[in-house]
């Protein structure tokens, strides 16, 4: 695609969906596309489906219109996924994707196989929001549409500090800022701000983290009983793996938490030498070279040993 208008011709009904446990880039790209179509194609009946987005994204307009459950049997003329790296990662709206007359995928994950009829995937770009921006008419991006795009870019670049941040990323961010929203408030309240309990949990994980592979790998973990004790779930654990990655001398950070008995969510971050997307794909997950994840079963020690084994293989390959 060169412009989103290419796939809207003749469309009367449209669905938009994101991935499970939607992060800022997922929420931002889905909502920006929703607001753009709603504003400039009012004749299209458009719905957006997100898996219970966090309250921190309340600054984005029309969040109260997000559908968090299936809305009966529907057959959309077009269904578009944003920031979804694989079909099985599509959250609540998967049945609507399957039944749609036409499907499209807008994404930036290098592991994305291209599961829609129309796939616009740019693995070199910082975020799905930046990919989406390239498909919109910049003259039509008002403050309402700019806010979710900026939010997604902030979240997937770690406030413009990750290696995926390019001169284009910064140029686009500057253009978005010109529309007049409070950018510093978005950064503080949606990215940095934590509750007292979230800070306690992060402190515990950092205090109990372990160093492996001669200090090149750090691992933090949280068991189900600990999560129950603090009354937290996966949505409360953002930022922990990124903080682990900043440990001096570390090349790879791993954070795992038990979301069900002996079922773990694994988040991986790399400082560049290790391609964590290959490790995540090996275990059925996906992501980017420096940020990826997957789900694994077993004991906490099984998960750590299995993932560390793949990390170790990559270190050996880079040394040979």
**pLDDT (tens digit, 9 = 90+) per residue, 172-193?**
999 999 999 999 999 999 999 9
pLDDT digits (tens, 9 = 90+) for 70-111: 988 999 999 999 999 999 999 999 999 999 999 999 999 988
Output 285 or 106, whichever has higher pLDDT. 106
Fold of 4-192: inorganic pyrophosphatase (n-terminal core) (3.90.1640)
- Find out whether 216 and 247 touch, Cβ atoms under 8 Å: no
Strand bridging mode 13-17 / 78-82 = parallel
pLDDT digits (tens, 9 = 90+) for 108-166: 998 899 999 999 999 999 999 999 999 999 999 999 999 999 999 999 999 998 888 99
Rounded to whole angstroms, the Cα distance separating 83 from 274 reads 23
pLDDT higher than 80, residue 320 = no
pLDDT at site 318 = 82
Indicate the pTM of the whole model.
Answer: 0.86
| Mean pLDDT computed over 41-70 | 96
pLDDT higher than 90, residue 200 = yes
- Tokens for 52? 């219970």
Domain boundaries defined on the chain: 4-192, 196-319
Rounded to whole angstroms, the Cα distance separating 237 from 233 reads 7
| 196-319 classified as CATH 3.40.1390.10 | no
pLDDT at site 6 = 95
Q: What is the mean pLDDT of the chain?
A: 95
Strand bridging mode 118-121 / 210-212 = unpaired
- Find out whether 198 and 236 touch, Cβ atoms under 8 Å: yes
pLDDT at site 296 = 97
Q: Give the pLDDT band of residue 306 (cuts 50, 70, 90).
A: very high
- Tokens for 103? 């499907």
């Amino acid at each position: 695609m060169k412009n989103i208008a290419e796939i809207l011709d003749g469309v009367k009904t449209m669905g938009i969906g994101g991935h499970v446990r939607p992060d800022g880039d997922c929420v931002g790209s889905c909502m920006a596309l929703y607001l753009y179509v709603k504003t400039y194609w009012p004749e299209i009946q458009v719905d957006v489906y997100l898996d219970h987005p966090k309250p921190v994204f309340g600054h984005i307009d029309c969040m109260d219109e997000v559908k968090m459950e299936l809305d009966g049997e529907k057959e959309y003329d077009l269904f578009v996924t944003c920031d979804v790296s694989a079909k099985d990662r599509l959250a609540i709206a998967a049945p609507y994707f399957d039944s749609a007359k036409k499907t499209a995928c807008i994404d930036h994950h290098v592991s994305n196989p291209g599961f829609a009829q129309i796939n616009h995937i740019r693995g070199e770009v910082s975020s799905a929001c930046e990919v989406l921006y390239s498909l919109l008419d910049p003259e039509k991006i008002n403050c309402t549409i700019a806010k979710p795009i900026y939010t997604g870019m902030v979240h997937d670049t770690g406030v413009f500090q990750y290696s995926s941040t390019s001169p284009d990323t910064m140029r686009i961010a500057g253009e978005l800022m010109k529309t007049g929203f409070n950018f510093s408030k978005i950064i503080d309240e949606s990215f940095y701000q934590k509750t007292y309990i979230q800070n306690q949990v992060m402190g515990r994980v950092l205090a109990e983290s372990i160093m492996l592979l001669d200090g090149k790998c750090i691992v933090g973990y949280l068991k189900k009983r600990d999560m129950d004790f603090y009354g937290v779930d996966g949505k409360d654990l953002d930022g922990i793996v990124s903080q682990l990655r900043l440990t001096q001398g570390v090349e790879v950070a791993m954070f795992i938490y038990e979301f069900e008995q002996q079922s773990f969510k694994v988040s991986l971050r790399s400082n560049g030498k290790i391609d964590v997307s290959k490790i995540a794909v090996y275990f059925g997950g996906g992501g980017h070279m420096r940020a990826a994840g997957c789900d694994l079963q077993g004991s906490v020690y099984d998960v750590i040993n299995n993932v560390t084994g793949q990390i170790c293989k990559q270190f050996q390959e880079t040394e040979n």
